[in-house]
Structure 1
Amino acid sequence: MAQTVTPPRGMRDFLPAEKARREHALGVIRDVYRVHGFDEIETPVMEDSSRLHAGLGGDNEKLAFAVMRRGLTSDDLARAAASGDALSLADLGLRYDLTVPLARFYATHRAALPPVFRSIQIAPVWRAERPQKGRYRQFVQCDIDIIGDATSLAELELLTATLATLDALGLGGCVIRINDRRILTRLLETWQVPAGGRERALIAIDKLDKIGAEGVAAELAGLGIDRPGLAEEIAALAAADWSVGQAAPAWLDEAAFAELAALRDALPGASIAFDPTLVRGMGYYTGTIFEIAHSDFGYSLGGGGRYDRMIGRFLGSEVPACGFSIGFERIVDLLPEADAGAARSVVLVHEAGADPAGLLALKRELVADGVRVRFERRVKNTKALLDRVAADGFAEFAFVGDATRAGELEFRPLA
């Protein structure tokens, strides 16, 4: 009995047509980011375990894949088992996002970088997720970050580049929700959440789109937050339309809200909405936070925010930083099929005994004109052959013989 062979659980293979579609989308994203003044960098897939578990990545730190040290002894394993500290056996780990590696990269190369550094990172990351629809253990992130600019110009550049990228990908109808961690802090103070319980309270609020206002209120009650009408208050905050002059509650951090309003006003025509219940799960955010929403989907298509205190953990001195990440795996599935790649791609169908030198001469002429060319040997079931190459993304085909020249080829559409 033949064995079923599949990729590792929670990971995927990509067939040629799907890979071409993904690379085309990545090319669009790269091109737009570069036009907006960002430069691409590359970091290792692994970082020191101590950096990945430095309290910067929130719950994602719990999902990091650890790489065990070489040369471990049975005594090492026994001590780790006795203490329950499995991480003591690891010295490296696979990156779970691109922000922590960027902070380390900047600390390493600061002297070679401009005072304000605008970076692109497009690369795979790994998390020990429970595999389910839309969640994978290996996936691609597309990040842009600005390091060294404490002004709102950084947020505006990130928002502008992200909106331009979504437009270039043909993804209309997206809205960027914005909030500020200072507003969330003031809200929790109003609810009299003790400082030690605020991170857990934010984790509960971050589930609003999944469990609803009643569910969030129940989780907060479990943390000891006893406030009459809390569920109704949460629902009202989430539903408020702040773009039409919604009356601001007394607890609102006015300075932070004024900065958010200035961001929105600086981008007339952009779809930007204030949402005081937006959290973003990462523990390293310090100010503005963003998230890409679409009315047709119940999940985020990307997000980011300001993380002014992270780089200081590596460098020893504070450096302002802000970033935005597109959720590539979710977005690529929404792109129209037409966004697949090469301008022209053809298949040359030849007989089994065709002269290789003649075929290569034809291919050289076509390739010189920028055409993508594949050879296929003619088979009895020609229709099945043509269906297969059409599924691989080719648009035209022609039958060729030993004496056929490029100018004599009669191409027909595979459609």
Structure 2
Amino acid sequence: MRDILPADKARRERVLSVIRERYRAHGFDEIETPVVEEYARLHAGIGGDNEKLAYNVLRRGLDADAIRAAADDPAALSDLGLRYDLTVPLARFYASNRAQLPAIFRSIQIGAVWRAERPQKGRYRQFVQCDIDIMGDDSSRAEAELMVASLDAVDALGLDGATVRINDRRVLDWMLESFGFGADERPGVLITIDKLDKIGPDGVAAELRERAVTPGAVDAFEAFLRRPQTREYLPYGEAQIRKALPADAPDEIVDHLVGIGEAVAVGRASEATDAAGIPLVFDPFLVRGMGYYTGTIFELAHPSVSYSLGGGGRYDGMIGRFLGQQVPAVGFSLGFERLVDLVTAGGDDREEAIVLVHDADVPVAELLAHKTALIAEGARVRLERRTKNLKALLERASADGFTSFATVSAGAASLERKPLA
């Protein structure tokens, strides 16, 4: 968890304002949910490893004896917890407020979440997520809308060239079944497959054998990884998808993925005039660890970094746990902290911000008159008493986002503005 200094806070707010503006332009409406949720909801077995990282809130009124008696039962010690993502709260929100929402609801949710992570570069215990979700639409249009809006937001931040890696959990399940992995083996197998980029085919095969899963299935999977492949470029579409999968992949799922690409191509018409320009890449080994995904899954990639800048997927089964009936849902989350690190500081669209450096004898009324006049012109204004080290004062103002300064003497009728280098 971190303190955010003024210049960094201003930069973060500029990035957030761009994201909000682009998402609203695509028809999404912003909501807000509490930072705490019921313990049982946060630990319902749908949050994957994030459930283990949740911060729990001690029940009120427990004395020392009650705490000792419940020491081995977290559910008896806690009835609330800090949210570890925004998707679980959104599902509860939708179930609670459905009568007041449209049949197809497009939401924006931006806020802090908390996980008891091991802190490292780019990974924090408190961080901001920027989510958009569509509930009530089971068609490929929903995925396409999310991808087009998210790519638009990233473009608006100056990070053009982003692509979306896409897969489907149903494809993964079918593929593992075709290799011969049993249903009870597949969750563990997916954990290993998710490491393919880090440990390679040899490492994946070795770890699968250490898991003592069906040997013949491991052999079949390893042979698939090592199959001879031609190197011709295939744009996103049916040919690319089928080439990346074993033979006889289910037509229904392939058609769904192809449909997403066709819709994204239309939505990105100014950037992609043909199939070759669709900013999607099919990745049959994209896993994503959240247990609530039921269909399409995706991650945002940018050529400047090796890690993802966001991701999401379809979670058609989650809302039904709270509502009692199934509602299709799909979401996309931008990795705000990672985006902020990539977005260049400053920008030509910054507001005018001026520091008035005044002598000690300038009457307060004069200072406020100058300040009020500049604010009326649309400027941001700060008053600073002149110091011996004027250079240090101005450097600090520049670091805080101020663009110009003026010196103020008693009785001055006008001010000469000078740019801050």
Name the aligned partner's letter for residue 261 of structure 2.
Answer: R
Identity across the alignment (%) = 58
Q: Which SS does the other structure have where 1:336 is aligned?
A: coil
Tell me, yes or no, if structure 1 residue 290 matches structure 2 residue 298: yes
- What is the distance in 2 between the residues matched to 1:126 and 1:237? 45
The alpha-carbon deviation at position 53 of structure 1 amounts to 0.4
2:142 to 150, 154, 159: 154
Say whether the 8 Å CA contact 2:36–2:81 is kept in structure 1: yes
Residues 19-72 of structure 1, C-alpha deviation per residue, up to 9 Å, x if partnerless? 000000000000001111100000000000000001111111111111010111
Q: Which SS does the other structure have where 1:333 is aligned?
A: helix
Residues 383-409 of structure 1, C-alpha deviation per residue, up to 9 Å, x if partnerless? 11111111111111110112223xx21
Scaled by the length of structure 1, what TM-score is found?
A: 0.92
Tell me, yes or no, if structure 1 residue 233 matches structure 2 residue 221: no
- What is the distance in 2 between the residues matched to 1:238 and 1:80? 58
Determine the structure 2 residue equivalent to 1:6.
none
Gapped runs of 5+ residues in structure 1? 1-10
Determine the structure 1 residue equivalent to 2:269.
none
Q: Which SS does the other structure have where 1:303 is aligned?
A: strand
CA distance 1:267–1:23, change in 2 (3 Å):
same
1:375 to 353, 366, 383: 383
Say whether the 8 Å CA contact 1:349–1:378 is kept in structure 2: yes
Determine the structure 2 residue equivalent to 1:168.
156
Determine the structure 1 residue equivalent to 2:187.
199
1:399 to 386, 396, 407: 407
Matches within 5 A, 1:48-63: 48-63=38-53
Matches within 5 A, 1:83-94: 84-94=72-82
- What is the distance in 1 between the residues matched to 2:178 and 2:65? 52
The 10-residue stretch of structure 1 (235-244 or 296-305) with the greater mean CA deviation from structure 2: 235-244
Say whether the 8 Å CA contact 1:47–1:92 is kept in structure 2: yes
Q: What value does the CA root-mean-square deviation take over the aligned residues?
A: 2.0
The alpha-carbon deviation at position 231 of structure 1 amounts to 4.5
Determine the structure 1 residue equivalent to 2:235.
243
Q: Which SS does the other structure have where 2:378 is aligned?
A: coil
Say whether the 8 Å CA contact 2:40–2:75 is kept in structure 1: no
Determine the structure 1 residue equivalent to 2:55.
65
2:371 to 342, 353, 363: 363
Scaled by the length of structure 2, what TM-score is found?
A: 0.91
- How many aligned positions are there? 401
The 10-residue stretch of structure 1 (228-237 or 181-190) with the greater mean CA deviation from structure 2: 228-237
1:276 to 284, 292, 310: 284
Determine the structure 1 residue equivalent to 2:353.
345
1:34 to 24, 38, 49: 24
Say whether the 8 Å CA contact 1:237–1:276 is kept in structure 2: no
CA distance 1:202–1:160, change in 2 (3 Å):
same
Q: Which SS does the other structure have where 1:115 is aligned?
A: coil
CA distance 1:394–1:280, change in 2 (3 Å):
same
Say whether the 8 Å CA contact 1:291–1:304 is kept in structure 2: yes
Say whether the 8 Å CA contact 1:340–1:393 is kept in structure 2: no
Name the aligned partner's letter for residue 370 of structure 1.
Answer: G
Determine the structure 2 residue equivalent to 1:263.
260
- What is the distance in 2 between the residues matched to 1:236 and 1:355? 82
Determine the structure 1 residue equivalent to 2:337.
329
Q: Which SS does the other structure have where 1:398 is aligned?
A: strand
Determine the structure 1 residue equivalent to 2:415.
409
The 10-residue stretch of structure 1 (373-382 or 263-272) with the greater mean CA deviation from structure 2: 263-272
